[in-house]
Structure 1
Amino acid sequence: MLSLAEVNALSIDAFVARFGDVAENSPWVAEAAAAMRPYRSRDAMVAAFAQAVRRAPRHMQVTLIRAHPDLAGRAAMAGEMAEDSRREQAGAGLDRLSPEEFERFTALNGLYRRTFGFPFILAVKGATKEQILEAFETRVGNTPEVEFQTALGQIGRIFRFRIEDRVLPG
């Protein structure tokens, strides 16, 4: 864990090396957030990451959303996703699904992707698989724009969890 003073003292390259994976396979977010330093608090750092995404052109926002793996999907089962995502999904029990649960997640992932053109995003830290399935089933009925904004909001929550795991409060 780094102190806020240490975070603020990092070069841009060192900052991106340390925090480039906070946004799933999208180090450009960390690069943009680094330019907003110095941070007065860890919350300000989280806000900088979210602001970097809000300021980005829509096509970059879409690319960021699409960089996330399906929950309990092929990448998860093959171990082909970022370490933070693997750990978060395992913490929610998504690595221990019954065949029926796996089938349900697979069906919902497919329906969601067909409906919206990007993966279902949920900050799963602290959630159960039942809560995740309920959110899936509720959100698949949203309009595309509502779901796009919901996905960006969930990505902001993911930023918070990942930054809190790496930076001391203060």
Structure 2
Amino acid sequence: MTDNNKLTPRPSELDRAAFVASYGEIYEHSPWVAELAWEQGLNEAHDRPEALATLMGEMLESASPERQLEVIRAHPDLAGKAALAGTLTDDSTREQAGAGLDQCSPEELACFERLNEAYKEKFGFPFVMAVKGSDRFAILDAFEVRLENTPAEERRTAVAQINRIALFRLRARAQG
């Protein structure tokens, strides 16, 4: 395996404070995920994005539903007010732009706003989707499908999507 498949700084070489400082924002405004991952013990395998993502994902999946909801609620609406105001995290800005959400027509923005509101009204948290490799049309379709889920199904789906986002973010860091 080449070094460009390894994270820098190397998680296995960091103390708790340095690890959280370096990887605490992988989960949107939720450094506790990184803290718990560090407490599990890191080895050289965790210097690879996939292994670290698996460990961090296990921390979120094993958390209480209330804690999971805190992480879900830390995510911004897709093509929402934070995006329009320019107040997203750098990672979220790149991810939404990569899916073309910064190029929505006024009609598409109105559709996103309507779906964001319907989704939050039904589930009590924002729609979260790992948008890398997707586009605004597929995202709008996913909204429609996922609005049919039960709250428990959708919480599990959102957690799985957040873990995919974390993997994408870690892979991006390894590529420099």
C-alpha RMSD over aligned residues = 1.6
CA positional deviation for 1:11: 1.2
Structure 2 unaligned blocks of 5 or more = none
Cα distance in 1 for partners of 2:84, 2:44 equals 37
Give the 3 Å change call, closer, same or farther, for CA 34–93 of structure 1 in structure 2: same
Give the unaligned 5+ runs of structure 1.
none
Change over 3 Å in CA distance of 1:11–1:2 after alignment to 2? farther
Q: Give the Cα–Cα distance (whole angstroms) in 2 for the partners of residues 59 and 121 of structure 1.
A: 16
Counterpart of 2:65 in structure 1 is 58
Q: Is the 2:96–2:131 contact (alpha carbons within 8 Å) kept by the matching residues of 1?
A: yes
Query: What letter corresponds to residue 28 of structure 1 in structure 2?
Result: W
Q: 1:7 aligns with which of 8, 11, 29?
A: 11
TM-score of the superposition, structure 1-length normalised?
A: 0.93
Which secondary structure does the structure 2 equivalent of 1:160 belong to? helix
SS at the partner of 1:72? coil
> 2:23 matched to 1:19?
yes
Tell me, yes or no, if structure 1 residue 91 matches structure 2 residue 98: yes
Task: Name the CA shift for 1:28/1:2 in 2 (closer, same or farther; >3 Å).
Answer: farther
Deviation string for 1:124-169 (max 9, x for gaps)?
A: 011010000000011101111111110000001001000111136x
Per-residue CA deviation, residues 16-59 of structure 1 (Å, 9 max, x unaligned), is 11111100011111111122312514322111110110222221
What is the CA–CA distance in structure 1 between the aligned matches of 2:44 and 2:92, rounded to whole Å? Answer: 26
1:1-170 equivalence runs, <5 A:
3=6, 6-36=10-40, 37-40=42-45, 41-167=48-174
Say which is worse superposed, 159-168 or 111-120, in terms of deviation. Answer: 159-168
In structure 1, what residue type is equivalent to 2:53? Answer: V
How many aligned positions are there? 168
Q: CA deviation at 1:85?
A: 0.5
- How far apart in 2 are the matches of 1:120 and 1:83? 19
Q: State whether residues 69 and 81 of structure 1, in contact with CA within 8 Å, keep that contact through their aligned partners in structure 2.
A: yes
8 A Cα contact 1:39 1:45, kept in partner: no
Seq. identity, %: 46
Stretches of 4+ aligned residues off by more than 4 angstroms: none
